[in-house]
Chain A
């Protein structure tokens, strides 16, 4: 099929028919910040970080089809400021205490925050109380850090065929739930080989006992930014190697 062209920040980016703006940007190595997007799963456009200006109109790059002639603004200060505000809201809605989190340095929320130059959380913190679920022999779910990206939901439902995770509630009350009568991960058939075990971009779904195998300072985002090294795809929070 003939290649067609869109422009992102005046750079020509080719795409195939059917691709989204995000697909085209990823294939061309153009970084559009995102948290709920992972090219393996159906896009859902919920985190809004990938909002770009398409011919002057703001659209989510992960759910908007590329159409020839689109002129797209991505790395502009107005959008970066919005992205910073979105990240700050995620920081205050949950409990993201980086010095105490095993995922630090490999965390995509942190990395995008660095990328958009977040220096403070700016808003008032909610400090919600959320229980920790350590019932599974090999995994712990720390709901304090969940950013509701639904990657685990999609991976468990669409790839593993297990439907272990879901989002319940609405608006500010939305929260991650686990599909077992007790609501505990230990009472599901969740397994270390599940795709859902590897997709959490933050430190919410964590492999036990392997959390500090790579020292802080040598982790994915410690030396280079996310627009250079890409999404966090470690098999566990402390891993150096990507799968």
Chain B
């Protein structure tokens, strides 16, 4: 049996939309599983990333845990791919970059509408938020970008096929979009 390509995926400061879009390749998942095996991903629930051929990163970087996971992926994945609009430039979570972190926390947990028992969460289990949300390329080097909010299942499928077969990545015009 030929060695399968090992893939890891994660969602950092994203909404899991890119992962949902990935699952939207539907029955092609059966074709994919012939070629790849999954390492750390929300699908396998493996908690740490081992040596992999490909890592897919959804989401930007908004807290200390995101930085840790992103670095772990970079150290373990030969090819690292930034998937989606948030990985690309921070996306919707980066809208908070206009405001002071303190103001965001106070609005959410103290002054916002309908809040009972107002307090800012400080459990040591909760990762510390970064001052700003960053796109992944500002933290580690990235080999490929697949923009889109989310990239369509078709775009993800075409991308993976081309990547796995060692072809140049060429997406049709309608598959490249930032929204």
Contact = CB atoms under 8 A, between A and B. Distances in A.
Contacts of B135: 120-121, 125
B174 A222 contact: yes
Given A122-B137, A124-B138, A99 B174 contact: no
Interface in B73-106: 82, 85, 88-92, 94-95, 97-98
B116 interface: no
A125 B178 contact: no
Interface in A40-63: none
Interface stretch (B50-58, B121-129, B142-150, B160-168): B142-150
A219 B151 CA distance: 17
A97 B173 contact: no
Contacts of B176: 114, 119
B71 interface: no
Contacts of B138: 124-125
If over half of B's interface residues share one DSSP class (helix, strand or loop), that class is named, otherwise mixed; here it is: mixed
Given A91-B89, A100-B92, A127-B94, A224 B173 contact: yes
A105 interface: yes
A223 B173 CA distance: 7
Given A96-B89, A99-B179, A223-B174, 12 more contacts: A92-B89, A97-B94, A98-B85, A114-B177, A120-B137, A121-B88, A121-B89, A121-B135, A125-B94, A125-B97, A127-B94, A216-B179
The 9 closest A-B pairs by CB, nearest first: A99-B149, A98-B178, A127-B97, A119-B145, A104-B179, A120-B145, A98-B179, A121-B89, A129-B98
13 contacts: A92-B89, A95-B94, A97-B92, A98-B85, A98-B178, A99-B178, A100-B92, A120-B142, A120-B145, A125-B89, A125-B97, A127-B98, A223-B174
